[in-house]
Amino acid sequence: MAEEMRIVLRNYGKIDPLKIEDYIAAGGYKALEKAKGMGQQALIDEVKKSNLRGRGGAGFNTGMKWSFSYGIKTDQKYVVCNADEGEPGTYKDRIIMENDPQSVLEGMAICGYAIGANKGYIYCRGEYPCMVEMLNKAIDQAKAKGCLGDFDIEVRMGGGAYACGEESALIESIEGNRGEPRFKPPFPPVIGLWGKPTIVNNVETFANIPAIVDKGADWYKAIGNAKYPGTKVMTLTGDITNKTFVEVPTNTSIRQVLNDFGGGVAGGKKFKAVQIGGTSGGFIPEAFLDTQLNFDDMSAIGATLGSGAFFVMDESRDIVDVVARIAKFFAHESCGKCTPCREGTMRMEEIMERVNDRHGDAADLDRMGRLGRVMTKACLCGLGQAAPSPVLTTMQHFKDEYLSKFN
Amino acid sequence: MLIIELIKLTINGKEVGAPTGSTVLQAAELAGIEIPRLCYDKDLSPLGACRLCVVEVKGNRLLPASCVTPIFAGMEVQTESEAVVEARQTILELLVANHPLDCMTCDKMGDCKLADYAYKYGVKDSSFAGATHQYAIDDSNPFIIRNLNKCILCGACVRACEELIGKDNLSYLNRGFHRKATTAGDVDYIESDCVFCGQCVAVCPTGALTEKTMAGQARRWDIKRVQTTCPFCGTGCNFDLAVNDGKVIGSLSNPNSPVNGRNLCVKGRFGWDFMYSDKRLTSPLIKKDGKFVEAGWDEAYDLIAKRFNEIKAKYGPDSFASLSSARCTNEESFLTQKFTRAHMGTNNCDHCAGACHAPSVAGLTNSFGSGAMTNVISEISSEAELLFLIGINPTESYPVVGYKMRQAHRNGCNLVVCDPRRTELAAEADIWLQQKHGTDIPLLNGLMHIIIKEGLEDKEFIATRTENYEAMKALAAEYTPGRVSEITGVAVEDLYKVARLYATTYKAMAFYSLGITEHICGTRNVMSVANLAMLTGHLGRPGVGVCPIRGQNNVQGACDMGALPNVYSGYQSVTDKAAKEKHQKAWGAPMPDKVGLKIPEMFEAAYEGTVKSMYILGENPVLTNPNANHIKEALEKLEFLVVQELFLTETAQYADVVLPGASFAEKDGTFTNTERRPQRVHKAVEPLPGKADWEVICEMVTRMGYPMSYNHPGEIWAEMASLSPSMAGISYERMEKESVHWPCTSADHPGTPILHIGKFTRGLGGFQPNEHIPPGELPDKDYPILLCTGRVMQHYNVTTQYSAGIAEVWPREMTEVHPQEAAKLGLVTGSKMRVTSRRGSVVTTAWVTDKVQPGVIWMSHHHSETPTNELTSPFVCDIAGTGEYKVCAVKIESA
Amino acid sequence: MADYKDIINQYKDLPGGIIEAYHAVQREYSYIPEEAVEAAAAAFKRSKAEAYGVATFYSYLKVGKRGKNVIRICESAPCHVAGADAVIAALEKELGMKMGESTADGKFALELTECVGQCQATPVITINSKPYENVTADKVAAILTEYK
């Protein structure tokens, strides 16, 4: 029986999230103090050494990212917390922020010290207006207590645009623009918000930081899978008995999460597929259920760890119907800046609908295969590059379901 | 020497080198490898969005867009690999799936990048057929057809509108498949803030934006392109006339244009159609019994020769006066002054520079020794750190210069605008000094006062390069900030801010125009600007200077050619013995001794009866000179008047013989722009009347008994150059290859973009202290409103009214009235109103706006139906004789 | 109702605050009046075209009138498999209109949305951003009575 391990949710249920005194009593803001005693370079080295990799989906070494901004001499730098969790089936950032907002603020403040930034933004999705209020209260409390020092944090609200989860699109949105991604390079740690070096990290990433500073890189890197150490918060949805969230070490397998925490497929039905990492994640068939939940192992099977969404489909589900719905999602959420995504997501939706409605033919599979292949490589940002993944992985693992639509 | 380090990489297996910071696309271009692209445009910021330019880079699992991917040493790039070709084909198929395939009748066919690439990659149709856009076609305006169904969202139009023009009229609406490059609220162009400069059309790679004038007129491959110089304003933009079947059908950007690149304004891009107005004159007219009757050329020439010669014989040479044109070619101005001097025997030759920039010539000659713009337009964006504008409204009067200034300002250059009216640039400026009308001298003196008081003057420059400084200093001392603030209405702290900024900015360029010159103290205004620049050492290097922007396409050239009463071509004084002898010898005729009459003096003399005959080439003083009723009376008194014109203008009505003129598109020649740059005008089509103006002048003068014969305007230029040391190095052959600024004294002289380097033309720069002189007429009890006049962006002084398109969007005079005044009279925008001065009364249409101050109205002088200059002031600059167009007193009422 | 100009002006010194201003206008009006877009352009020194561009990019922002109470139904995959279709049908029937429309009395606007992050209890609808979990067709009428 696998076990949960709570690092980012270390205070879950133990403190009143809107009482900073509780957080402090639980050891909060000690890490920030310790970090400041370490010096910037040593702090960044420690984070780098912990091998904490970004929890938003891209899996980049956090300390390394910070070092890019740290190395630049300029009058202003920014720390941005990406709380635009738009991946369908994901609500882990909400759980973290709702239950322990101060841990995120502290993580941001540590980052601010490390890179030399005195201003932070939390970009919270527009779907969470209550969360915005809560965060503002938490910030007010931290400021009142002087916990953040000279580091200022402001909350900005998204407006319902999945594309803004992409860090450069998110930056555009904070600047008050259309949330369309920028081409890269330059990357945000070098040229980001208002042209200044900017670290954008996910809520979960920041929530890990105080624990790492507090207990040390060696402690952290020993947890879970060595290539992607630590834990991952997963949100379990779909045809699963326990629709809940769990935080597990990164050497936990998909099967363990499904059965040990999720209680197996709901209603005693048989498993058909699980889509992990959000709506752009690959569909995983039974054969891969022993894969561990970390970035590299998931990549190796053509899937992603992504945001930690864990969407289970039982034997009764029509995979093509679900993927058609997902294709519609991408057509709706494409920002429209680059050609292959703007036009491609629309055509993918049309073809998937046609196939799902039994009006398609085998040539449609070739079309989608080619379109998917091109989008994966040629789109401007991660949204377009990942969008074809559900189509491509289901055509690979569940081809019969497509073929059955042509009978 | 600048050593650029090349980074080595391989593209398609070939080792190539490119400078650090290059993109893959640029490196490929250097290596002669063309990468397809739709959204990339070298004049616009990179977008990286069409993804057609993707390439394969070893070690990268993605296909990066080459237009935004920097090169690195050892990079291995494939530009046409299997994956790349598949991506390009797929992207093109995606675009084609949502693009009307009516290429057979598309006006852009032949110049459509989408079609070119579809052809290259064999995309015949799309396997992604599905929903398509069904946008309504925007055919709302006379210039541009907007069919967004053909838009591929490369964003070039949006970027051009923002980055080249700064009008920001376009952005994107909605997202995803429904993303649309359009106006605010998706309204038609005509209802938007569009200024119809057409840059969006120029950069559009498909048929989404096309020139309406060209619709159905020609396939792109049948169009002959003839590069020429714009006939409106003094900026000197070049473009290509699009010609098919002997007819001009459009004006297309030519990226090799030295001044403007691809930028144009509404006039240059769409105003050329005046040449096909049905009001064009096509044959000579002779007035018989008070009515014009069509006549043959011979009849007209005979009559002209007889009458001009008779009158000269009867009243003497000085009874004749000629007006050349700031709109005709240099060659035509040269011929006009030549025959005036050599055959008619008088120096009574002028042109309308007298009505606008004569004070610049007089003032800057006094101060520096040369009347021309000291620096060049390109320095606005390449050098200047501060643009100091006084009495100039570039975005309306010289739009392409204005666009450049706005671009510079957005890129970090400071902008100070001194203007009583809230012009576009005043509204955008870092500091806007809203001085009262006619208070420029105290304002400039006040700035100098502060600069001297704070020790910010350039002491070394003053000591080594100037004279008469002590007098200047003494005068400036009297213009204390408090006193200046009282006279000008400008806050004391703003005076300090601007004085300090101008004095302490190393590269500060000063620009002015008619807001400075068209005053009773115009020449003194000019000299005051020059004083300020000398005080701070802002002369004789890049990014500084005193820059009058000329209002007409060839007003600089008409001056350069000697169509002035006091100088031959190249500013050689008619009283200079050597110059006189040189011309006598060259032209085989005695040269008159005495300086001739300026325009206002000519009309005064005509009124008084000493001038009896006149030849007027392409000028319309009745519409454009102040106190027009007086001009009319003078013209009526002439015994004989010849007007050579495109149209039967207000002035031509008074002629005894009217000779039909040729438009800029119908003749060869040169125009010299405001920065002393002569540029070729190339004949695109045959002249409507059968002859170009230079030919007509030659034939007419030959008939008068002075043989003039040239095979081509190039020969006229060559004669002029041989007589004018400052232009001796410029030839037609050279102009075809490069564009140089005079002075250019020999064929191997590089030209002189910047004047007064190291030494002023006159030796030492001369401070010319000036006291405040209030306008000649100010509002009073009977005429309580101040009238200020000027130009609007859509129009040029003359000719544009005959453009069907421009007349459609700006058909009438719109008089700016402040809401306070409007409220008193119950006027709203569109109301008819009457404006009356002591000299005349006109009916106009109100435009209620707070661009003007309370108590002020502002009018343009473009419309015959509202002859604004019947109202303007009789006062003139005491030195240059230029009318005070900028200030007079009127009363207004509802009409 | 507060004037949109006053609302917008509260944000005008906030760098990039135009989206915040739009949200604030919507909290008062439930939509963004066209004039408010132009007012925002002026307040934030943006072109009108850009101000429209921003307002039409985000699916939670709506330029032009819509119903006061904005009902959004999540249609993302977890809600989709949990039976969102039946909830959509029930909402359309109850309100007598289609998705994307507003009721004639101006009380309700009905919109599809993507995931609202309450996937522990699918299907989910939100009314004025307040989530309702595990919604089924037969619960729809009762939920709506709160707002009628």
Task: Express each pLDDT in B164-200 by its tens digit.
Answer: 999 999 999 999 999 999 999 999 999 999 999 999 9
- Bond from prior residue into B592 cis (ω within 30 degrees of 0): no
Q: Name the average pLDDT for chain A.
A: 96
Instruction: Considering only the beta carbons, identify the residue of A128, A156, A161 that sits closest to C59.
Output: A161
pLDDT (average), residues A215-240: 96
- Where do the domains of chain C lie, and which CATH numbers do they carry? 4-57 (no CATH), 69-145 (3.40.30.10)
Contacts of C116 in chain A (CB under 8 A): 127
A328: nearest CA partner in chain C: C76
Residues B473-499 pLDDT 10s: 999 999 999 999 999 999 999 999 999
Residue contact C114–A333, C-beta within 8 A: yes
CA dihedral (B821, B824, B829, B835) in degrees, to 10, reads: -60
Residue A329 touches chain C, beta carbons under 8 Å: yes
Residue A57 reports pLDDT greater than 90: no
Mean pLDDT of B675-697: 97
Residues 72-91 in B contacting A (C-alpha not used; CB under 8 Å) = 83, 86-87, 90-91
pLDDT digits (tens, 9 = 90+) for B100-146: 999 999 999 999 999 999 999 999 888 999 999 999 999 999 999 99
- Quick check: B1 pLDDT over 60? no
Cβ atoms of A107 and A79 within 8 Å: the answer is no
Burial class (CB in 10 A: 0-12, 13-18, 19+), B61: exposed
Is the predicted pLDDT of residue A289 greater than 80, yes or no?
yes
Q: What is the pLDDT of residue B73?
A: 96
Pick A374's closest partner by Cβ from B87, B131, B174: B87
8 Å CB contact of C59 and A86: no
Torsion C87-C91-C97-C100 (CA) sign:
negative
The answer to whether C56 contacts B175, with C-beta atoms less than 8 Å apart, is: yes
Cα A328 from Cα B519, distance rounded (Å): 68
Q: C80: which chain A residues are within 8 Å (Cβ-Cβ)?
A: 322, 325
What is the nearest CA distance from A93 to chain B, expressed in angstroms? 26
pLDDT band for position B797 (cuts 50, 70, 90) = low
Q: Is the pLDDT of residue A118 over 70?
A: yes
Nearest to A378 among B51, B68, B176 (CB): B51
Chain B nearest-CA residue for A183: B48
Contacts of B882 (CB under 8 A, 6+ apart): B354, B355, B356, B358, B359, B517, B518, B522, B876
Q: What angle do CA A60, A65, A69 make, to 5 degrees?
A: 165
Contacts for C99 with CB less than 8 Å, ≥ 6 apart: C73, C88, C92, C110, C111, C112
Range 171-190 of A in CB contact (< 8 A) with C? 173-180
What integer is the mean pLDDT of B848-872? Answer: 90
Q: Are B270 and B249 in contact (CB under 8 A)?
A: no
Backbone dihedral region for residue C146 (phi beyond 0: left; psi -120 to 50: alpha; all else: beta)? alpha
The pLDDT of residue B580 is 96
DSSP character string of C40-76: HHHHTT--HHHHHHHHTTSTT--BS---SEEEEEE-S
Under the banding of pLDDT at 50, 70 and 90, the label for residue A155 is very high
- Residue in B50, B54, B176 nearest the CB of A335: B176
Q: Which of C32, C81, C124, C128 to mutate to test the interface with A (most CBs of A within 10 A)?
A: C81
Cβ contact B316:B291 at 8 Å: no
**Chains B, C: CB pairs < 8 Å:** 37
pLDDT tens profile B696-736: 999 999 999 999 999 999 999 999 999 999 999 999 999 99
Using the predicted structure, report yes or no on whether residue B796 has a pLDDT greater than 80: no
Mean pLDDT of the region C73-102: 93
Burial of B748 (0-12, 13-18, 19+ CB in 10 A): exposed
Beta-carbon contacts of residue B707 (< 8 Å; ≥ 6 apart): none
Instruction: Read off the pLDDT band of B809 (50, 70, 90).
Output: confident
Is omega for the bond preceding C123 within 30 degrees of 0, making it cis? yes
| Mean pLDDT computed over B589-598 | 95
Portion 110-129 of A in contact with C at CB < 8 A: 125-129
Q: Whole-angstrom Cα distance, residue A258 to residue A261?
A: 6
The amino acid at B793: M
Q: What is the nearest CA distance from C93 to chain A, expressed in angstroms?
A: 22
A185-212 pLDDT, tens digit per residue, is 999 999 999 999 999 999 999 999 999 9
Partners of residue B168 in chain C, C-beta under 8 Å: 47, 49-50
The verdict on a CB contact (< 8 Å) between A160 and C58 is yes
Does the beta-carbon distance from A342 to B131 stay under 8 Å?
no
Cross-strand bridge partners of residue B321:
B614
Say how far apart CA B480 and CA A46 lie, in whole Å.
64
Distance of CA B217 to the CA centre of its chain: 28
The C-alpha of C145 sits at a distance from chain A's nearest C-alpha, in angstroms, of 23
User: What is the average pLDDT across C118-129?
Assistant: 92
Q: How far is CA B512 from CA B349, B356, B549, B775, B862, in A?
A: 26, 12, 7, 18, 21
What is the predicted pLDDT for the residue at B792?
A: 81
What structural domains does chain A harbor?
A: 20-223 (3.40.50.11540), 232-314 (3.10.20.600), 319-406 (1.20.1440.230)
**CA B70, B76, B77 angle in degrees (round to 5)?**
70
Taking the CA of residue A143 as centre, how many other CA atoms within 13 Å lie in the half-sphere pointing to its CB? 13
Q: What is the pLDDT of residue B316?
A: 96
Q: Is B184 in contact with C52 (Cβ distance < 8 A)?
A: yes
Could you tell me if B480 and B425 are in contact, meaning their C-beta atoms sit under 8 angstroms apart?
A: no
- C-alpha span between B352 and B234 (Å, rounded): 13
Per DSSP, helices labelled H in C11-139 are 18-29, 34-43, 48-55, 77-81, 84-95
Cβ contact (<8 Å) for C20 and A245? no
Examine the pLDDT at B2 and tell me if it is beyond 80: no
Rounded to an integer, what is the distance from CA B746 to the centroid of its chain? 28
Contact criterion met (CB below 8 Å) for C147 and C108 = yes
Contacts 24+ apart (CB under 8 A), A182-187: A183/A380, A183/B46, A183/B47, A183/B48, A183/B49, A183/B65, A183/B68, A185/B70, A187/A68
The pLDDT confidence band at residue B805, using thresholds 50, 70 and 90, is confident
Mean pLDDT for the stretch of residues B332-347: 98
Q: Which of B87, B98, B177 sits opposite A331 (nearest CB)?
A: B177
Identity of the residue in C19, C23, C80 whose CB atom sits nearest the CB atom of A322: C80
B767 — pLDDT class (breaks 50, 70, 90): very high
Spatial contact of B867 and B512, defined as CB atoms under 8 Å apart? no
Asked if the C-beta of C106 comes within 8 angstroms of chain B's C-beta atoms, the answer is: no
Checking if the pLDDT of B853 tops 90, the result is yes
Q: Yes or no: say if B622 and B635 are a contact pair by the CB < 8 Å rule.
A: yes
Residues 56-85 of C with CB under 8 A from B: 56-57
B545-576: b (≥16 Cβ within 10 Å) or e: bbbbbbbbbbbbbbbbbbbbbbbbbbbbebee
Mutation target among A99, A127, A203, A352 for the C interface, most CBs of C within 10 A: A127
**Chain B residues in contact with A337 (beta carbon < 8 A):** 49, 153, 179
- Is the previous residue joined to A186 through a cis bond, with omega within 30 degrees of 0? yes
B888 strand-pairing partners: B787
Angle between helices A101-115 and A62-70 (to 10 degrees): 40
Instruction: Using the predicted structure, report yes or no on whether residue B511 has a pLDDT greater than 60.
Output: yes
B98 has a pLDDT exceeding 90: yes
Separation CA B18–CA B11 (nearest Å): 11
Q: What is the pTM of this model?
A: 0.94
**Candidate from A179, A311, A317 with C-beta closest to C57:** A179
Q: Cβ distance B347 to B594 under 8 Å?
A: yes
Q: Hey, is the C-beta of C45 within 8 angstroms of any chain B C-beta?
A: no
Instruction: Please give the Cα distance from A286 to A308 (Å, whole number).
Output: 18
